[in-house]
Every structure is written in structure tokens, then in C-alpha cells.
Amino acid sequence: MSPLPKQVLPALVAPALALAFATLISALVLLTSGADPLLTFNSMLDFGVRPDQVVNTVNQATTYYLAALAVAVGFRMNLFNIGVDGQYRLAALLAAYLGGAVSLPAPLHIALIFLVAMAVGAAWASIAAVLKVRRGVSEVISTIMLNAIATALGAYLLSTWLSVPVAGSNNIGTKPIGFSGQIPGLPFPGTSNRIFGLVFAAVLVGVGYHVLVSRTRFGFDLRATGLSTPAAVASGVHVRRMVLVTMGISGGIAGLIGMPQLLGSSHSYSLDFPAGLGFAGIGIALLGRNNPIGIAFGSLLFGFLDQSSQILDLEGIPKEIVAIMQATLVLSVVSAYEMVRRIRLRQQQRQVGAGPAAAPPAPGAPPDAGRSGSGGPA
């Protein structure tokens, strides 16, 4: 077998086995609850491939993709940015408020909203970075705490200073963004629903992430620091600066998570703005192994499961089965990739233990000159 299949095959088999295992666990849970697994999965599939649900899946996957990329940037350096949820919600709130308060030509209006969202997300993530490099505070603890602070701060600002009543409901939200700040959706055959126009922007962010991590000196330092901090320091990497910059980039991407919904659908930030996307992004980043293509497939899978679960309520089946399947899938994939890593490590150890291949005989030497123990007459 050529070297390429040896490297690619485990990367394909591991997620496939994990998906099969997650499906098996979900089937057992369904059997325990008295539901027919085959009928349940068939209903989810039939419902999920309807045109309107396909659009919803793509839209959900767009926000999931940005959330997972925000997490993946930190993961590549062993930084656990658990605060993506608070970062994007606070960024969306302030960007929506400013977007509704100003009136500019379309390109400038949209650019301003983007810049504000990225700046707020980066600034909020930088708080955890400063605490880490200055006081040694774990970013896991600080970002979790900052999530709670961002939620409380956003609720306070929305209920006191930044909101206006929403006509025809008890909801409150920011002033709607004008037409110049909106991004129209893309039509899809068979439904009046539209795909978020920022789906292409999400693809560009994924390309930028790949170039940054894999094709730049910063990306090399990022990966080197994640593999071995002492080795990175010995090679001249300023680790503290890397922590600040990486968390800033992660927060900046997090600030974009709410933009597809804000500019393409709701046009304002209200109490029912989507929440929890940051935590879903953690699982998807693990599922995709921090690879932009793997993350894209993981985002589509999670989006499909979320949308197809809606049919379960109508059939009297708890839709929490989807959450069980998603969680089992992430745990299975992580375990499968760890098994693949250990298998590859053992293969490398066996190759090293076997020693280098014998050198070929020099031109003009006897046929057995290159063999061990045949160096000439005794």
C-alpha cells in the first residue's frame, strides 16, 4: 500500500466508525424509551432533506462553522477559549446597536458593523489573555467566568440603554439595522427560505484560517507552541505575545458568529437571539480535528441533526436523542483519533526498532558486499 492511503485511510475510517458507534448508542437509547430506531432515523432523514430544512441546515452550519473556527485557533496552541459564546453575543449586541444607530452607504455600513463585532469579540477575549500572561490565570476558568459576565452585561444593556420595544410582542431589541446594513439571502429551489448571504464570508474565513495556521510564520510558531512550549521558547518564540495575539484572533472570529443571523435575517439583537453556539463550536472543532474541511463537515452534520430533530416532537419522541447522539459522536471521534494516533506511534516505533535498510553495494563491488557480515575475507 502506498504511503498516501496509509495516512488518509485512518483519518477517514476513524470518523466513520465514530458515527456508526454514535448511531448504535442512539438506537439503544431509542429502544429503551420504546421507540423504533429505524423509523426514527428514517423520519429524521426524510424531514431533513426537505428544501426548507436544507436551507435551515446550511444557515445553522454557517454559524456553527464560524464558532468552531474561533475555538480551533486557540486549540492549535493548546489554548481553550471556552468564552466564545459570551464573546459573540456581546459583539452582536453592540454591533447591532451601532448598526441601527448610524446611516451609511451599504459597503461602509456593513464594514462598520463587521469591524465593531470583531473588535468587541477580540477585546473581550483579550481579558482572559491578559489574565493568563500577567497573573497565570487559566483561560478555561477566566473565559467561563467571562461568559457569565457577558450574559449579565448584555441583558443589562439590552433592558436599559440599547433596546426599543418590538412591535406586536413583549420582546425587546435594538433598533433595526437599515437596508444599507443588510445582506440579502440567496434563493434555494423549492422553498421561500433563503440561505444566508454571508455563507461565502464563512468560507473565506475558513480559507484565511488555513493560510494563517499552515502557510505563515505565525502559524508555525502557533503550532510549535502548542506541541511544546519549552521547545518554542528555545527557538525564539515569544509565548506571551503569542497568547495575546491568538486569543485576540479567536475573539475576533467569535465576533463574526452572529453576523449571518444579524445581517441576513433578524436585523436586530433581541432577547431571542440564538445562544449556545460557542459551546457547539467546541464539539465541532474536536469533531473536525481543527481542520477547516473537517469542521465544515462537522458543522453540516450538527446542523442537519438540529433541524431534523424537529420532527421528533411531532411523533412523540424526545428530541433530546439528538443531543445524546451529538455528544456521543464527539466522544467517539476523540477516542477514535486517539486510537489511530497510538497505532501510528507503535508503527513508527517498530520501524525505528527495525533499523535502517542495508546500504546497496558500491558499483563494481561483489554482489554480497552490501550485506551484513560480508565485508571481505577474514
pLDDT tens digits for range 132-162: 999 999 999 999 999 999 999 999 999 898 8
Q: Give percent above pLDDT 70 in the chain.
A: 90
Instruction: Pick 36-316's CATH classification: 3.30.43, 2.40.50, 1.10.3110, 1.10.3470.
Output: 1.10.3470
Query: Tens digit of pLDDT for each residue in 200-233?
Result: 999 999 999 999 999 999 999 999 999 888 989 9
Query: Tens digit of pLDDT for each residue in 100-128?
Result: 999 999 999 999 999 999 999 999 999 99
Instruction: Look up residue 210 and give its DSSP letter.
Output: H
Average pLDDT over residues 254-265: 96
Domain ranges, ordered by start, for the chain: 36-316
- pTM score > 0.85 for this model? yes
Helices (H), 193-319: 199-214, 217-227, 229-234, 239-254, 259-261, 277-287, 292-308, 310-314
Separation of alpha carbons 95 and 102, rounded Å: 11
Separation of alpha carbons 112 and 109, rounded Å: 5
**What pLDDT does 2 receive?**
47
**What pLDDT does 208 receive?**
97
**What pLDDT does 316 receive?**
83
